[in-house]
Structure formats: structure tokens, C-alpha cells
Amino acid sequence: MALVKGEGAFVWDAEGNKYLDFVAGLAVNSLGHCHPKVVEAIREQAETLMHVSNLYWIEPQVKLARLLVENSALDKVFFCNSGAEANEGAIKLARKYAKKYLGPDKYEIITMEKSFHGRTLAAITATAQPKYQKDLDPLPPGFKYVPLNDFAALEKAISPNTCAVMMEPVQGEGGVNVADYDYMQQVKQLCLEKNLLLIFDEVQCGLGRTGKLFAYEHYNVEPNIMTLAKAIAGGFPMGALLATDKVAECFQPGDHASTFGGNPLAAAAGCAAVSILADKDFLVEVAEKGAYFEQKLHRLKDKYSFITDVRGKGLILGLGITVDGKSIVDGCLQKGLIINCVGSNVLRFIPPLIITKQNIDDAVNIIDEVMSGLSFNEVEL
């Protein structure tokens, strides 16, 4: 299928077929496709100045940094082009900080099983999923993995070399797994006691996806470092690494850089997108629509025995299933709904945040139709 046009929550393929998009470019198109304010910002900036080097001040970059800092618990922003780059920067910054403040032997970072932090070499090593690391040996040293929400395992994993804990508050690629509130409190307290940095990867779950601008706000826990990407520029490629002042100062000029990161075009798109995503009324609506969608999914769970659970927060939701998800994904596509499946047994829903309750009703009705048509053999898989 070749998608050639998008508008709001819908896309069209090359044959003219229309689809309700509940994947949203893998949580990139949070404002829907071709949001007019993002389109206008890109058009205006493209006519003015598309790219200059970060050797100079870039006005929309400064504006976007201010937007992010004023709406978060972090103090400084480094811009790049993707989530993987943002996480590579976070790993480098954590080790720089550790060398400066904790000692020469502090370099190890603990991450969570079923995490996903990107496909560059250090980021894929931080990603605790062996299937993504196959045939990439030797992987960079300095990473340990523990199960999410297992505090005893995390405590046990800390060694004299540990400098940071890195995690997604809501795992996306790993199956829409949500960190427990109490667990997050324990993790933060442990990091304070052991003098470890806490890094939150909010590349997928950040920027309004959970009904709050940042997922960490659900936990009353503030990170030392946070990474963003996907929705940050409304569909234009961009990533961001945020840190507190004390941590950020460990990057001095020349320590880390990106040729295209935060260039005028990307930053203008980012300003337009984040201005909308940070709006409090907008976020209230996201939370309300997420609760409505979740309620609808629970009704499906009550109807079908092969649905094991409903998981997620806001508008990053998942259905655990005991059947092969591909048949459901394919069936929905044939009926005009785009969804996807992670790990073969979790249907993931990451629609544009601008969807309506009618869109949700339409999607759930299609999923219901497809599930009701599953054969006995498919249900027993």
C-alpha cells in the first residue's frame, strides 16, 4: 500500500482508498496529517530561511527551546533529528556527567526489558530486546537490563559502575506497558540515594500522548534528562534532548553537535506543533478522548475471550490478545482502518490526538466486525 495524501485523521492510498489512521505515522502525526498551522509555519519559514549552521543563533530554535523549558521541569534543550539521536545524546551526556561528578568508573546505564530506544548502535544496545540486536555484535558495553515494574531487580542490578537509569514511562514498541506509580516513586528515590541520573525516554509517550504534555507528570517524578521526537514538529523530522542545568553544563561547545538539528525549518514546525500540544484545554480533551476510547476497548474485552487486557494511558492504548494480531490488523485495513500490532500479541492504538469520539466509535466498530469474523482456528492460536 502506498499512501499518497493525508488530512486530519485520514489518509488515502494511490488507488484512492480512504483510511482512518490509528497509527499516525507511529505517533508522529499527533496533530493529524497536514495540520494547517504546521503547514503554514513550514511554508513561511521555507520562504525566509531554511537552514543555517548552529554556529549562529537561530530565532525559531530559541523560541522552541523556551516553549519546552517553560512547560517542563528541565532547563536546557539540544535539538537533533530523531529519537535515536536524542537517546544517543542522553547516553553521552549521562556518561559525561558521571565522569565529572561521580568518578572515572561510572558509565553503566540500566534500562528496562521490552524497551525501545532507537536503532543506532548505542540506542539499540540500550533497547533490551534481543531481536533488534541480532547479528550486531559486538555491542557497546555498559548496559544492564531489568524487567519494568520490578524494583527488587533494579536494586540488585546496581553496581559500582552504574551512573543512570533509563526508561520509558509508557513503553510503546515493547507492547504499551505502563510503569506503575509506586514503582516510579521507588525508582526516583533510589536514584537520589545512589546519586544516579534518571533518564526518561518520552519519544513516543511524550508531547500530549498520555493526556499530559509529558508522561512523567502522571507520576510527580521529574527526570534529570528527557528525550523527545516523533510529534515534536508535527510530522517534520526532529528530536530533542532536555536536561537540568547541572547536567546540561557537562556538554561544552564541541562535545556534541548536529548539522541539521534545530535548523530554522524544523524549529518553525516545532514551534507551531508544540504551541498546540502544550495547550491545557487541548490536553484535557486528549485525556477525555483517551478515557472514552479505553472504555470502548474494555467493552470489546468483555465480549471476546481472546482479549486478555486493556493497557495504556491517554491515547497510547493496547489490547493484549491470545491470537495472532496480523489477521486483525489486515482485516481492519480491508475495512478502512489502520492499526498495528507489536510483539504479535498486542494491538497498539496511537491515533492523532485530534480524533473525534465519532472517529473512535468508527474504529471500534471496525475492530468489532473483524474480531467477530475470526474463525475458530484463529481464535485458538
Domains by residue range for the chain, with CATH: 3-34+281-378 (3.90.1150.10), 36-278 (3.40.640.10)
* pLDDT confidence of residue 343: 84
Binding residues for pyridoxal 5'-phosphate: 83-84, 116, 201-204, 259
3-state secondary structure (DSSP) of residue 368: helix
pLDDT bracket for residue 375 (50, 70, 90): low
- Active site amino acids: 116, 201, 230
Segment 1-60, tens digit of pLDDT: 999 999 999 999 999 999 999 999 999 999 999 999 999 999 999 999 999 999 999 999
| 76 pLDDT above the threshold of 70 | yes
Buried/exposed code over 365-376 (b: 16+ C-beta within 10 A; e: otherwise): ebbeebbeebee
Which candidate, 128, 125, 121, 169, places its Cα nearest to that of 145?
Answer: 128
Integer Cα distance of 116 and 342 in angstroms: 12
Show the cell assigned to 375: 474463525
Check the CA dihedral 333-336-342-345 and report its sign. Answer: negative
* Phi, psi dihedral angles at 201 (to 5 degrees): -90, 105
| 146 pLDDT above the threshold of 50 | yes
Percent of the chain with pLDDT over 70: 98
* Cell numbers 498520555: residue: 210
| 381 pLDDT above the threshold of 70 | no
Segment 311-360, tens digit of pLDDT: 999 999 999 999 999 999 999 999 999 999 998 899 999 999 999 999 99
Which candidate, 16, 33, 15, places its Cα nearest to that of 24?
Answer: 33
Q: Across the chain, how many H-helices and E-strands are there? A: 14, 17
* Mean pLDDT across the chain: 96
| 99 pLDDT above the threshold of 80 | yes
Running DSSP on this structure, what letter comes out for residue 371? H
Which candidate, 274, 359, 281, 283, places its Cα nearest to that of 314?
Answer: 283
Sheet containing 337-338: order of strands: 3-7, 10-13, 18-21, 337-338
* Cell numbers 471476546: residue: 304
Q: What own/partner pairs with CB < 8 Å and gap ≥ 24 does 356-362 have?
A: 356/9, 356/289, 357/289, 357/292, 359/9, 359/20, 360/289, 360/292, 360/293, 360/296, 361/296, 362/20, 362/337
Cα atoms in the 13 Å half-sphere on the side-chain side of 18: 4
Binding residues: 83-84, 116, 119, 201-204, 258-259
* pLDDT confidence of residue 41: 98
Helix or strand holding residue 166 (H, E): strand 162-167
User: What average pLDDT score do residues 92-109 get?
Assistant: 97
* pLDDT confidence of residue 376: 46
Sheet containing 162-167: order of strands: 76-80, 239-243, 225-228, 197-201, 162-167, 108-112, 143-146
| 380 pLDDT above the threshold of 80 | no
Binding residues for N(2)-acetyl-L-ornithine: 119, 258
Integer Cα distance of 179 and 356 in angstroms: 27
Side chain identity, residue 213: L
Ramachandran class of 208: left when φ > 0, alpha when ψ lies in -120 to 50, beta otherwise:
left
Q: Is the pTM of this model over 0.85?
A: yes
pLDDT bracket for residue 252 (50, 70, 90): very high
